[in-house]
Amino acid sequence: MTRLEHYLADPALADEPLPLREIHAIRLMIHDDTQNLSADEIRAYYQAELDQAKRKFKFKYAETTSPPG
């Protein structure tokens, strides 16, 4: 069972239509991944996810901006 399947099996999501259930499950996964992280750690988490998506989809022209400092 994948991690997403684990969240989709949550009885609290059972009454939702599948597309909404998938979105809800992904939001729960992100919440669990970023819970108790500092702002810098959350930014690093999203940056790593973005970098992974860019590699997966071979997206070469995205420029990311970081806050000053």
Same domain? 32 vs 4: yes
| Residue 62 pLDDT exceeds 60 | no
Indicate the residue type of 10.
D
| Residue 69 pLDDT exceeds 70 | no
Q: Is the pTM of this model over 0.85?
A: no
Same domain? 5 vs 31: yes
Same domain? 10 vs 28: yes
Quote the mean pLDDT of the chain: 88
CB 9 within 8 A of CB 29: no
The span from the CA of 41 to the CA of 56, in Å, is 22
Compare 42 and 1 and report the one with higher pLDDT: 42
**Mutual angle of helices 39-56 and 18-34, in 10-degree steps:** 130
Same domain? 30 vs 43: no
- Give me the percent of the chain exceeding a pLDDT of 70: 86
What are 29-55's pLDDT values in tens digits?
Answer: 999 999 999 999 999 999 999 999 989
Indicate the residue type of 46.
Y
Per the structure, how many domains does the chain have?
2
The span from the CA of 50 to the CA of 44, in Å, is 10
Structural domain for 25, as ranges? 1-36
Same domain? 32 vs 44: no
